């Protein structure tokens, strides 16, 4: 029964439009191994906690549909969102290296997640040099993103922080499909505030200021960015040769 389920899983994964944008899709070809290792798929409602900070996960996940966020909460209740995850993103990457993750992961929309057993994935990655290198590269990318977030939170103004966040999300979504000047945008003001270290009231004022400058426009279910170059100027991004 399990063998038949894995064969069916492999066939569905190899024809999945999200697969090329996953951790496994970076191999550059549609290989059967990750599909064979997939144990199933879970659907979760919005605001469901998937993983608690500091604990080793029983399952590993790739997002098929929906958005998630990784965050930490201080003793006094203040919350900081460390990053957002979109379809194709692999959750709890440190678990592949035998480590626990910093921050809890929660769905911010209804979501469908492809599930994997940690031990089976770890064995494959340990034995496959290509996948080891890919995991290392993705880990380095996440470390660079964390450094970028430190810069945003530490020295940028509210408008610069929000502009940088929007560009970061656009880059993540562009991995899935061409986005043009409109991106899917299910975030609420509280999400923006918790991701930038400002209050929801300040986040509202900042969004309105960016709209007044014609840098963004809220549309049904999404966000339009009519002038990406101007938004990058507003974000005050670090030059590549100084990163």
Q: Tell me the sheet residues that pair with 72.
A: 80
Q: What is the pLDDT of residue 4?
A: 41
Whole-number Å distance between alpha carbons of 50 and 185: 21
Residue 62: count other Cβ atoms within 10 Å of its Cβ: 26
Q: What is the pLDDT of residue 31?
A: 61
Q: What is the pLDDT of residue 45?
A: 96
Q: What is the pLDDT of residue 30?
A: 53
Q: What is the pLDDT of residue 122?
A: 85
Alpha carbon separation from 1 to 5, 28, 38, 220 (Å, rounded): 6, 30, 14, 44
Strands, DSSP E only, in the chain? 38-44, 49-51, 60-65, 68-73, 79-85, 90-91, 104-107, 111-116, 182-184, 217-219, 222-224
Domains delineated in the chain: 2-131 (2.60.120.10), 156-242 (1.10.10.10)
Residues 132, 23: contact at Cβ < 8 Å?
A: no
Q: What is the pLDDT of residue 194?
A: 96
Q: Tell me the sheet residues that pair with 113.
A: 42, 63
Supply φ then ψ for residue 191, to 5 degrees: -65, -45
Whole-number Å distance between alpha carbons of 180 and 160: 22
Q: Whole-model pTM?
A: 0.86
90 CB burial (10 A radius; 0-12, 13-18, 19+): buried
- Digits of tens for pLDDT over the chain (243 positions)? 333 444 454 456 667 778 777 887 777 655 667 777 788 889 999 999 998 887 877 888 999 999 999 999 999 989 999 999 999 999 988 888 777 778 899 999 999 999 988 888 888 888 888 888 888 888 888 888 888 888 888 899 999 999 999 999 999 898 877 888 899 999 999 999 999 999 999 999 999 999 999 999 999 989 999 999 999 999 987 765 444
Q: What is the pLDDT of residue 239?
A: 61
Q: What is the pLDDT of residue 19?
A: 79
Q: What is the pLDDT of residue 47?
A: 95
H/E element, 6:
helix 2-14
Alpha carbon separation from 21 to 25, 81, 82, 90 (Å, rounded): 6, 23, 21, 10
Tens of pLDDT along 44-85? 999 999 988 878 778 889 999 999 999 999 999 899 999 999
């Amino acid at each position: 029964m399990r063998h038949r389920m894995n064969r069916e899983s492999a066939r569905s994964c190899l024809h999945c439009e999200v697969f090329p944008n996953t951790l496994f899709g970076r191999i550059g070809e549609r290989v059967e191994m990750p599909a064979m290792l997939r144990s199933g798929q879970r659907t979760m409602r919005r605001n469901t906690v998937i993983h608690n900070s500091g604990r080793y996960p029983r399952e590993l996940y790739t997002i098929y549909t929906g958005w998630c966020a990784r965050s930490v909460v201080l003793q006094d209740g203040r919350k900081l969102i460390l990053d957002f995850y979109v379809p194709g993103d692999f959750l709890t990457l440190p678990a592949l290296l035998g480590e626990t993750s910093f921050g809890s992961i929660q769905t911010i929309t209804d979501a469908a997640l492809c599930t994997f057993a940690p031990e089976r994935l770890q064995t494959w990655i340990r034995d496959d040099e290509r996948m080891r290198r890919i995991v290392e590269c993705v880990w380095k990318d996440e470390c660079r993103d964390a450094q970028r977030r430190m810069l945003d939170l530490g020295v940028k103004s509210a408008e610069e922080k929000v502009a940088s966040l929007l560009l970061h999300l656009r880059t993540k979504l562009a991995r899935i499909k061409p986005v043009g000047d409109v991106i899917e945008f299910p975030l609420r003001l509280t999400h923006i505030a918790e991701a930038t270290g400002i209050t929801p009231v300040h986040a509202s004022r900042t969004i309105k200021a960016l709209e007044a400058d014609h840098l963004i426009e809220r549309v049904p279910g999404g966000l339009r960015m009519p002038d990406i170059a101007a938004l990058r100027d507003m974000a005050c991004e670090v030059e590549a040769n100084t990163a």
